[in-house]
Amino acid sequence: MSAPSERPKSVATEAQDYGESYFQSHLGSDEPYDWGSPHWRTFFIMVAERIRAVTNPSAVLDVGCARGLLVQALCEQGVDAYGIDVSHHAIDTAHPNVASRLSVGSAEEITGSWDLITCIEVLEHMAPTDAERAIDSMCAASDRVLLSSTPTNFTEPTHVNVREPAAWAASFAERGFFRRTDVDLSFLAPWAVLFERADVSTRDLVYRYEHYAYPMRVEVLEKRAALLDAYRKMASRGFQSRLDEVIAANLDLRHKLLTSRDHAIGAEAEAGEWRRRHEEAVAELDETRGHLHRALTSKTWRVGRTIAYPLAKLRERHR
């Protein structure tokens, strides 16, 4: 066992982790991740339209742009969009129409000033300290950051820094950025959020979040009550007993199926034994026929037949 000081404090991905194989197998679709894919093109055009409608940005930087699909979609909406990504492969394989707007770069070293920065499914790929530096960099370059970072996908090998949305919100709050509770980005992902620089009092901040959270809590409680009421009505009408009967019948059918399968396996084994015996009998018959044929065609048989033939004729005459 290694000493505590020798253990890695965090895990970080590298640019070479995002090569051709990554884009072929890690992006959640059977279609190629490029502008020629109807699935991805339609998705990013929809996202670009909604971003433009919600934020009306003039200049956008997409941090972790991959092959620049969002950049290309935003440009088609008339937005002056650019993108950076650590993957040389992604930038080199971008569509020609958008290639000049993309460059290899780190989220920790953003240059320029932008009306909006988008960072979609990127921070979970970065080591915690690198992700914090990326947030510093984004907050220094823009007053608005559209962030989406999965809180649940732990199976993806390059997801080394998966956090709950509250953790990201706290990090942005430390830098004076707060959720725009009036903006719904669920068209992108349930956890997507628009952070904006704001000088708000504690009172206004509490009001904003309570105003945002209260309707959802009421909705959840009402749906729970409706679900419980539906369950009670089903139980009172005998649905539970009927369900128990169906479950019992299903178990009985399963038992019969297994029994039938066992019988079928036994019958198949018996049929195999009879097939083997038949094949042995056929082989034995073929062998006997061979012996008989060789005997009938042998010289000894022909000589014996020549000698026996006159004797047989003589016996016929004296009958």
Q: pLDDT tens-digit profile of 89-126?
A: 999 999 999 999 999 999 999 999 999 999 999 999 99
Mean pLDDT of 23-28: 71
- Residue 54, classified by CB atoms within 10 Å of its CB into exposed (0-12), middle (13-18) or buried (19+), is middle
Domain that holds residue 261: 240-317
Identify whether residues 186 and 286 lie together within a single domain: no
pLDDT at 1 over 50: no
Where is pLDDT greater, at 77 or 27? Answer: 77
Q: Three-state secondary structure along 164-212?
A: CHHHHHHHHHCCCEEECCCCCCCCCCCCCEEEEECCCCHHHHHHHHHHH
Identify whether residues 35 and 171 lie together within a single domain: yes
pTM for the full model?
A: 0.69
What pLDDT was estimated at residue 30?
Answer: 77
pLDDT at 176 over 60: yes
Identify whether residues 264 and 187 lie together within a single domain: no
Structural domains in the chain (count): 2
Identify whether residues 17 and 151 lie together within a single domain: yes
Last residue of some domain: 137, 170, 199?
199
Strands 193-197 and 177-179: antiparallel
Last residue of some domain: 199, 223, 251?
199
Where is pLDDT greater, at 292 or 256? Answer: 256
Spatial distance between the Cα atoms of 293 and 198, rounded to a whole number of angstroms: 106
3-state secondary structure of 288: helix
Mean pLDDT of 276-289: 78
- Tokens 């971008």 correspond to 94
What pLDDT was estimated at residue 66?
Answer: 94
Rounded to 5°, angle at Cα 172 from 170 and 175: 115
* pLDDT above 70 coverage of the chain, percent: 87
Strands 116-120 and 102-104: unpaired
Identify whether residues 245 and 188 lie together within a single domain: no
What pLDDT was estimated at residue 285?
Answer: 75
130-134, 230-234, 238-242, 267-271 — most confident range: 130-134
Identify whether residues 47 and 176 lie together within a single domain: yes
Identify whether residues 192 and 290 lie together within a single domain: no
State the average pLDDT for the chain. Answer: 86
Identify whether residues 20 and 143 lie together within a single domain: yes
Strand partners, 80: 59
Identify whether residues 165 and 40 lie together within a single domain: yes
Entry field: residues in the chain: 319
Are 88 and 55 in contact by the 8 Å Cβ rule? The answer is: no
Last residue of some domain: 169, 199, 229?
199
Domain of 64, CATH number, reads: 3.40.50.150
Are 65 and 95 in contact by the 8 Å Cβ rule? The answer is: no
Q: Where are the alpha helices (DSSP H) in the chain?
A: 20-25, 38-55, 69-76, 88-92, 128-141, 165-173, 202-236, 239-296, 299-317
pLDDT at 37 over 50: yes
b (16+ CB within 10 A) / e for 178-198 = bbbeeeebeebeebbbbbbee
Where is pLDDT greater, at 168 or 24? Answer: 168
Spatial distance between the Cα atoms of 169 and 81, rounded to a whole number of angstroms: 25
Spatial distance between the Cα atoms of 154 and 239, rounded to a whole number of angstroms: 39
pLDDT at 238 over 90: no
What pLDDT was estimated at residue 119?
Answer: 98
3-state secondary structure of 109: coil
Q: Show contacts of 130-135: CB within 8 Å, 24+ apart.
A: 130/12, 131/161, 132/171, 133/108, 134/63, 134/106, 134/107, 134/108, 135/171, 135/172, 135/175
